[in-house]
């Protein structure tokens, strides 16, 4: 059920933690009939600019100025980690729901899709795999979509939207779908980035497999555990997104353009494949970890067998030395001329026989 639009008297936005330098408004542009209008749009008049453009377009096509006509123009405002004060201006101008605004400012949300009247709020997780450190970097992109506006809020360093905007501007036929086209383009880029991260993880898992089954003496448990933890973060970004994309693919969000549903079906299909592969990574690493533990245990058993074999060899020598070290009056061998060399020879012969026996049975 769609949640009702927030009252016009929105609650003040609670201050978020300090933002890094360079955060705030990245771009604010007006789009008409699939094309970007030249020049920057002042943030304070962004919505009114979109309304005026829609009225002009309606008058050109119908000869009438109808303020209730369907709007075919929209503004796209791009923000990067805005402060509460920066975002409050946007929230008030577009009457964004306070709960969604709080989520957008503070971030750390699950992927989701919520509706507030005719405004749609979407949270997407970005993923970037840093191969040298084998770390998954997770960011967030939030989108507010109305009939004639899109607000994108990016948290984290990954998945900058400049390329997405330029690629979409090169496809005016798609861009004519309005805010829905922006949501599709952003979701498509994020899911494509999932595939890149997936390929990086797959290479490292293959490398770990080769090392574990190569028989080297290293214990790879720590590396495996770390990679499992990163895959868990990957799963938390990918798996919850299936529900929102499925709704979009089925055209179940009434305020979005129905013609974009096939595009979302394609993105959803790609996401499902990635989710299956990521789940498989987790199971595969469990198997590799079991194999690593088994290998370590086997090497420990081999070490114990070697130690046992050497102890047995030394025990034979110690036994003979102990016998002739006993303090008895009558030990005829002590008076033999060859007694000492004979005892040493027996020790050496027994040690050689035991050594060859252990070697034949692969204990040494």
Please name the CATH architecture into which domain 24-293 falls. 2-Layer Sandwich (3.30)
Report the alpha-carbon distance of residue 88 to residue 170 in Å, rounded: 32
What pLDDT was estimated at residue 208?
A: 86
What pLDDT was estimated at residue 66?
A: 52
Mean pLDDT, residues 100-120 taken together: 91
Report the alpha-carbon distance of residue 94 to residue 116 in Å, rounded: 12
Structure tokens belonging to residue 36: 């970007």
The answer to whether 188 and 124 have CB atoms below 8 angstroms apart is no
Sequence-ordered alpha helix ranges (H) in 214-323: 221-238, 242-249, 261-323
Mean pLDDT, residues 231-248 taken together: 94
The answer to whether 236 and 316 have CB atoms below 8 angstroms apart is no
Domain segments of the chain as ranges = 24-293, 301-360
Strands 73-80 and 149-155: parallel
The residues pairing with 75 across neighbouring beta strands, listed in sequence order, are: 30, 149
Report the alpha-carbon distance of residue 327 to residue 343 in Å, rounded: 17
pLDDT of 9 strictly over 50 = no
pLDDT digits (tens, 9 = 90+) for 174-213: 998 989 999 999 999 999 999 999 999 999 988 888 888 8
pLDDT digits (tens, 9 = 90+) for 111-141: 999 999 999 999 999 999 888 888 889 999 9
pTM: 0.74
Strands 24-32 and 35-36: antiparallel
The answer to whether 91 and 13 have CB atoms below 8 angstroms apart is yes
CA angle 97, 98, 101 (to 5 degrees): 90
Could you tell me which CATH number the domain at 301-360 has? Answer: 1.20.58.340
Positive or negative CA dihedral for 144, 150, 156, 158?
positive
Minimum mean pLDDT among 10-14, 219-223, 278-282: which range?
10-14
pLDDT of 82 strictly over 50 = yes
What pLDDT was estimated at residue 62?
A: 53
The answer to whether 122 and 113 have CB atoms below 8 angstroms apart is yes
Beta-carbon contacts of residue 196 (< 8 Å; ≥ 6 apart): 129
pLDDT of 262 strictly over 90 = yes
Could you tell me how many residues make up the chain? 364
What pLDDT was estimated at residue 190?
A: 95
Query: Which of 10-14, 62-66, 92-96, 321-325 is most confident?
Result: 92-96
Closest Cα to residue 351, out of 321, 311, 314, 307? 314
């Amino acid at each position: 059920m769609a949640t009702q639009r927030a009252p016009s008297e929105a609650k003040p936005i609670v201050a978020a933690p300090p933002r890094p330098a360079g955060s705030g408004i990245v771009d604010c542009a007006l789009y008409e009939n699939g094309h970007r209008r030249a020049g920057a749009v002042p943030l304070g008049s962004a919505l009114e600019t979109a309304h005026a453009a829609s009225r002009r377009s309606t008058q050109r096509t119908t000869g009438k100025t109808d303020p209730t006509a369907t709007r075919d123009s929209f503004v796209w405002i791009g923000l990067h980690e805005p402060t509460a004060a920066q975002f409050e201006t946007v929230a008030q101008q577009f009457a964004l729901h306070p709960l969604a605004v709080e989520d957008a400012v503070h971030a750390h949300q699950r992927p989701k899709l919520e509706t507030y009247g005719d405004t749609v709020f979407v949270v997407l997780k970005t993923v970037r795999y840093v191969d040298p450190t084998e770390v998954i970097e997770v960011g967030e992109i939030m989108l507010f979509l109305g009939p004639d506006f899109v607000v994108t809020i990016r948290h984290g360093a990954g998945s900058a939207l400049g390329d997405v905007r330029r690629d979409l501007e090169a496809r005016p036929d798609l861009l004519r779908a309005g805010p829905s086209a922006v949501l599709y383009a952003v979701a498509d880029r994020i899911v494509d980035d999932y595939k890149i991260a997936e390929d990086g993880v797959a290479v490292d898992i293959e490398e770990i497999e080769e090392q574990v089954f190569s028989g080297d003496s290293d214990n790879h448990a720590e590396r495996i555990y770390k990679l499992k933890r990163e895959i868990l973060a990957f799963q938390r970004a990918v798996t919850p997104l299936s529900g929102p994309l499925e709704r979009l693919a089925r055209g179940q969000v009434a305020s979005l353009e129905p013609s974009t549903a096939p595009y979302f079906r394609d993105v959803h299909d790609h996401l499902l494949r990635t989710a299956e592969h990521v789940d498989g990574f987790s199971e595969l690493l469990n198997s590799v970890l079991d194999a690593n533990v088994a290998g370590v245990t086997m090497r420990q058993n081999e070490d114990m067998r070697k130690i046992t074999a050497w102890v047995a060899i030394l025990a034979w020598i110690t036994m003979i030395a102990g016998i002739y070290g006993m303090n008895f009056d009558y030990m005829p061998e002590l008076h033999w001329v060859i007694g000492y060399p004979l005892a040493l020879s027996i020790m050496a012969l027994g040690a050689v026989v035991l050594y060859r026996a252990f070697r034949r049975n692969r204990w040494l």
